[in-house]
Amino acid sequence: MAEGYLRHFADQKADVYSAGVETHGVNPKAIASMREDGMDISAHTSNHVDEYNHIDFDFVITVCDNAKERCPYFPTKAKVCHHNFPDPAKAQGSEDEISDAFRQVREQIKDYCRRFVADHI
């Protein structure tokens, strides 16, 4: 979700990469939630952070405490930014409750990405 919003708000003023410390594929509920907001992330991929160790990043953004703790050191001048969003994939309850959890986190990520781009790009 963060990749989608960062790309949207940066509007080609920045190269945006997305990776994790584990690869699981893009969650179908995340795709559906983003689609509700007019964002298509269905072609996004689940990449491992090691795939990008050759890139001299300006920023590395971690979006959960697990990633922050496990994110490898990048030998670059990258500024590391962190915000711990709840993991909506861990939401429990009815389908509506789980979808609502994805929407709530989506809105938090959207606000964070909007501010990040305004402040740094």
pLDDT in tens, 48-101: 988 988 888 999 898 987 766 776 666 678 898 999 999 999 999 999 999 999
pLDDT of residue 28: 96
Structure tokens belonging to residue 56:
């001299």
Between CA 66 and CA 51 the distance in angstroms is 19
- Do 26 and 2 meet the contact criterion of CB atoms below 8 Å apart? no
Residue-averaged pLDDT of the chain: 91
Question: Where along the chain do its domains lie?
Answer: 2-120
Sign, Cα dihedral of 63, 8, 25, 94:
positive
Say whether pLDDT at 107 is over 80. yes
| Orientation of helix 95-120 relative to helix 2-10, angle to 10° | 40
Question: CB atoms < 10 A from the CB of 64, how many?
Answer: 16
Buried-state track 8-17, b at ≥16 Cβ within 10 A, e below 16: bbbeeeeebe
Structure tokens belonging to residue 17:
């990469």
Q: How far is CA 27 from the centre of its chain?
A: 12
CATH fold, domain 2-120, is Rossmann fold (3.40.50)
